[in-house]
Amino acid sequence: MKTKKPTPKKSATAPERGKVMNGAEILVECLEREGVEVIFAYPGGCSMPIHQALTKTKKIRTILPRHEQGGVYAAEGYARVSGKPGVCMATSGPGATNLVTGIADAFMDSIPLVAITGQVPQEMIGRGAFQETDVFGMTLPIVKHSYLVWDINEIPRIVKEAFHIANSGRPGPVLIDIPKNIQNQTTQPIFPKSVSLRGYKEEPKADDVALHELIGLVKQAKAPMIYCGGGVISGGASAELLEFAERTQIPVATTLMGIGCFPESHPLSLKWLGMHGTVYANNAVNEADLLLAIGVRFDDRVTGKVEKFCEHGTIVHIDIDNSEINKNKVVRLPILSDLKYALGRLNKFLDQAGQKRPAKHNYTRFPAWYKQINEWKTKHPLSFKDTEDVIQPQHVIQLLHKMTKGEAIITTGVGQHQMWAGQFYDFEKPRTFITSAGLGSMGFGYPAAMGAKVAAPDRHVIDIDGDGSFLMNVQELATAHIEGIPAKAIILNNQHLGMVVQWEDRFHGGNRGHTFLGDPKDLERVYPDYVQIAKGFGVTCERVVHKKDLPAAIQRMLDSKEVYLLDVMVPFTEHVLPMIPSGKTYKDIITE
């Protein structure tokens, strides 16, 4: 009697062979396998085959931005809200170069992004062909990794690696450049199930000895502070941070990128520090005897004159990226680690030592320190001079916070409005304040709001923008309208490049160096007319001039199921305060 041989079981990690496809179809299949739901892609000659393949997928939504920069910012907005890699695509040459600013933005802010570019055929590379640029070389300093596909059979491995690299360790952008001839070639692909990258250790884990040393330093401290940033959000460690802060009873100040990683209504919160951060956060961080720096990079906008930053305190730095350790600020105790692991481990040690979370926020561990911080808070609160009829920009944001109950996702452009949004909209949760922090890229706000709304369709997503910043990617109103993405925008319109005007007023005697955006021939006219511009895109926009009309206008915007703009006229004379002048210290802060 013959025994039937058992069918061998497939290994969960064994590669899988697909059907014969062209390179473009293989790429789309790979994107599907990575769980990609949406791609922001603008077509051109060298990416046409990929767009043809995208028309046949039922799993991926292709959104057509009206400019490649709008597409990459939208992909960033999607990534910043969802935590998953955003995906964008452009053709070769100018299409690829239009992605560069967004790729740099993702690199500076550690945002997971996969940018795909079409490239001229292999035989044309290096010959100055029509719409050829070396986007691989051009982006080398602003990506975690980049690929120029030279073999169709390498596409599955490359895509698998690209998504792994983009979203592991310290997240960041990855570029895949694909020549057109490879997109059109055919092969039977082999899809890997796993990734093995020699030398790439994406999740280092803190040494227990170092963590116990940290706990020992906390026991000795009399005026400790936690200074935490975007690494807490990208590491998914907000809950662990909250527990650690409550167990140790240490006050918390965040960076601009860290806004939302610690609830700002919490009694231990000092909001955020830096050039336009709170006086009390800057004072506390700089005068602390122990500074726990968690998921930060000691950016110049935070430290000011870096050698004077926390000059007399002991500094501990926990970060996942070894290149950031001792780069800007030499510290007493560096700890290389995934933050979620390090904080979780610290909480376990504290629990074993009997250090519980106080009931009802009853924090008593550092009474003299709390008293000092409260004195600073009382003396230097975030405030502004409100008026009876003129709309102050800070008032707009406070009112929006009240009317949304603090539950909206806020995106911003770059400028004064960005700082006011961070100051006067209190954020309780991570991934709700979406802003270009490291690169400071104007034009970011509205495309990012589109991507954020795609990632969170059931949430209010509102871009708080300036008239200068909004105009830089105003064409994305067309994308939002046609694609049915009801992202809202409030334009704080002062007819000027407000932040540059503020510096002119403070440091250049008020001399205007090309910062007026209105019509010099008709100063009474609001220019450009966003109401008419929006109308041309099929979008509703209303202008608000008087304070009494603002609440109803905001409510109409919130109630709308479609794209909606509020063009709110505000004075250009208003300054963002407090302000630490560039290169100065917290002691040089301007408060009035």
Where do the structural domains in the chain lie, given as residue ranges?
16-191, 208-379, 393-569
Question: One-letter amino acid identity for 250?
Answer: I
Closest CA to 204 of 333, 316, 336: 336
Q: Mean pLDDT, consecutive 10-residue segments, the chain of 592 residues?
A: 56 83 98 98 98 98 98 98 98 98 98 98 94 96 98 98 97 98 98 91 92 98 98 98 98 98 98 98 98 97 95 97 96 98 98 92 96 98 94 98 98 98 98 98 98 98 98 98 98 98 96 97 96 98 98 98 98 97 95 92
Burial class (CB in 10 A: 0-12, 13-18, 19+), 169: buried
Cα(232)–Cα(295) distance, rounded to whole angstroms? Answer: 6
Cα(472)–Cα(444) distance, rounded to whole angstroms? Answer: 8
pLDDT given at position 11 = 64
Q: Which of 130, 219, 220, 402 is catalytic?
A: 130
Burial class (CB in 10 A: 0-12, 13-18, 19+), 440: middle
pLDDT given at position 201 = 80
pLDDT given at position 199 = 84
Closest CA to 576 of 503, 469, 523: 503
180 carries an active-site annotation:
yes
68 carries an active-site annotation:
yes
**∠ at Cα 363 (360, 368), nearest 5°?**
155
Q: Which of 68, 476, 483, 574 is catalytic?
A: 68
Closest CA to 499 of 463, 469, 530: 469
Question: Right CATH number for 16-191 from 2.40.50.140, 3.40.190.10, 3.90.79.10, 3.40.50.970?
Answer: 3.40.50.970
131 carries an active-site annotation:
yes
Cα(342)–Cα(66) distance, rounded to whole angstroms? Answer: 43
Q: Which of 21, 89, 257, 499 is catalytic?
A: 499
Neighbours of 458 (CB within 10 A): 5
What element of type H or E holds 123?
none
Residue-by-residue DSSP string for 332-399: SEEEES-HHHHHHHHHHHHHHTT-PPPGGG---SSHHHHHHHHHHHHHS-S-----SSS--HHHHHHH
Q: Which of 52, 122, 131, 185 is catalytic?
A: 131
Same topology for domains 208-379 and 393-569, yes or no?
yes
Alpha-carbon torsion angle 200, 203, 207, 208, nearest 10: -160
pTM listed for this prediction: 0.96
130 carries an active-site annotation:
yes
The full 3-state SS of 463-505, as one line of letters, equals EEEEHHHHHCCCCHHHHHHHHCCCCEEEEEECCECHHHHHHHH
Cα(394)–Cα(391) distance, rounded to whole angstroms? Answer: 9
Report CA-CA distances (Å) from 139 to 100, 106, 245, 321.
7, 12, 39, 20
What's the CATH number for 208-379?
3.40.50.1220
What element of type H or E holds 434?
strand 433-434
Cα(326)–Cα(335) distance, rounded to whole angstroms? Answer: 11
Q: Name the superfamily (CATH) of residues 393-569.
A: Thiamin diphosphate (ThDP)-binding fold, Pyr/PP domains (3.40.50.970)
Q: Which of 180, 271, 377, 547 is catalytic?
A: 180
